Structure 1
């Protein structure tokens, strides 16, 4: 069985074909395409898949997106700040040209599902996946099911308590100083003049502030969703010196309120980097393709 996967990020769309395996899909071919505009990007995606014999396609997409299967705008990218993609029917365009069922969800929900199947969360039934890169987004699984509802989780826009040493106003166009506005790669670049992925000084006060905000967010996710694993990915989290700071701050913020070993002596194995690394989103596409096949068989 062959799967098509799309990890549609804000700057790059990663397309791939993989052969299904119970251990982990084996990638056979992949191509990265710039997320410029539908007019330029969609033909390149279709050209990649046109000669491929795939049984299903999964799209893990930047958002916000409409996931309500009964909505007239299901499969649309909706109120994204990327104006070229706003109100674009990405599922419809691909479904018209590619045979087989199409699975669709946010890029971070897809990554969470992939981590549950093949990555750092294989041993549990619930997890939170947060990517900290150019922007911040989060996906969640509870009881082996992706969290949906009114829309989908928008974990990057939670409000955090301002650090006493921080006077940065934030850059989120909607909320100013939400988590993304204070902590994303773009926010770090605005603070320091250096891209978040490239800031090398481990002792910089910026990292103390950033880690505290991320810890506050993680505590909120723990209190609301009670995940059995918290996975922090994205370009900023490649700075592995952040993990000990975040774990320490999470323990201090919880203040022994939840007496679970995972949040105490076992916290190093509780708040972790993605087992699939940078490919979590792409494998999210494969995971959504598998779910689409399962749904088709139930019908």
Structure 2
């Protein structure tokens, strides 16, 4: 049967989200399944999408994952801490199960694409999406292209100036005290002994987290100069974190940029307009752009 639908998939460490639609317009359906072992998850994906003859699929995946189409490891998961997934040829398995080609980007890149075209970045030429949650991820889009060459950016693993009197060793299994190791959801839980959603807005951990997020956003600004930064994720979207990050970012910036006009944190650092649908809707938009009926 000739395909008439496009699908977007956001593959996360704990759940997968789907959106299916025609060439344009809102998706016909959105749904989710839990992340299980690789083969079982792929089978569930095929079952969920079996009723839709597909033209193509956009996949925004957790990683690290190969994102360069010309390379043999395109769509292959790399050194992921997710048990059973390291080395799994995700793109190839999905293409076989779905009978349709798959475009692969990272989950945060899919979110950046969704926000640029459908959300907080509509009308702009460039945007950075930063998620601070289970991990820290950054993706930048510039004039219709993702910033990256040999792979995808891993700015969540840069080292940042320490917050005053912060001696926390970090939780990153590779770098310890990188941005992700100091300010991610697991870092908040290790610091406090409680999950972030259980903590009050006046908990002393939030100014520490905001210190690292603000420094990270400053690095993104000076490295990529996006017209806007969308800050999301379970930690990044906390109202107290947002307020503190904007204030600290402005202080760190000290008025120094290469932009034509002054940057105002209130309009430069914004929440995702698409909420938790940024990634899956961005993946659907990528599929529609990449594949023709």
TM-score, normalization: structure 1?
0.92
Residue equivalent to 2:242 = 243
Offset of residue 240 of structure 1: 1.5
Mapped contact 1:65–1:75 kept (Cα < 8 A): yes
Residue equivalent to 1:58 = 58
Mapped contact 1:2–1:53 kept (Cα < 8 A): yes
Equivalent pairs counted in the alignment come to: 290
Report which stretch shifted further, 169-178 or 143-152.
Answer: 143-152
Residue equivalent to 1:8 = 11
CA distances 1:141-193 after superposition (whole Å, capped 9, x unpaired): 12221112121011211111110131211000000010110111111011112
**1:81/1:143 Cα in 2 relative to 1: closer, same or farther (>3 Å)?**
same
Counterparts of 2:261 and 2:42, CA distance in 1: 44
The runs of 5 or more residues in structure 1 that have no matched partner are none
Give the alignment of 1:1-299 within 5 angstroms.
2-21=5-24, 25-199=25-199, 201-258=200-257, 260=259, 263-264=262-263, 266-293=264-291
Secondary structure in 1 matching 2:80: coil
Mapped contact 1:7–1:60 kept (Cα < 8 A): yes
Secondary structure in 1 matching 2:19: strand
Offset of residue 262 of structure 1: 6.2
Counterparts of 1:254 and 1:33, CA distance in 2: 42
Mapped contact 2:19–2:281 kept (Cα < 8 A): no
Counterparts of 1:186 and 1:151, CA distance in 2: 25
Mapped contact 1:197–1:238 kept (Cα < 8 A): no
TM-score, normalization: structure 2?
0.93
Secondary structure in 2 matching 1:258: coil
**1:267/1:261 Cα in 2 relative to 1: closer, same or farther (>3 Å)?**
farther
Offset of residue 260 of structure 1: 4.7
Mapped contact 1:20–1:26 kept (Cα < 8 A): no
Offset of residue 103 of structure 1: 1.4
Counterparts of 1:198 and 1:232, CA distance in 2: 21
Counterparts of 1:96 and 1:225, CA distance in 2: 37
**1:99/1:262 Cα in 2 relative to 1: closer, same or farther (>3 Å)?**
farther
Mapped contact 2:43–2:97 kept (Cα < 8 A): no
Report which stretch shifted further, 53-62 or 26-35.
Answer: 26-35
**1:2/1:198 Cα in 2 relative to 1: closer, same or farther (>3 Å)?**
farther
Offset of residue 50 of structure 1: 1.6
CA distances 1:3-29 after superposition (whole Å, capped 9, x unpaired): 2111001111112312443xxx42322
Q: CA RMSD in A?
A: 1.8
Secondary structure in 1 matching 2:137: strand
Counterparts of 1:42 and 1:2, CA distance in 2: 19
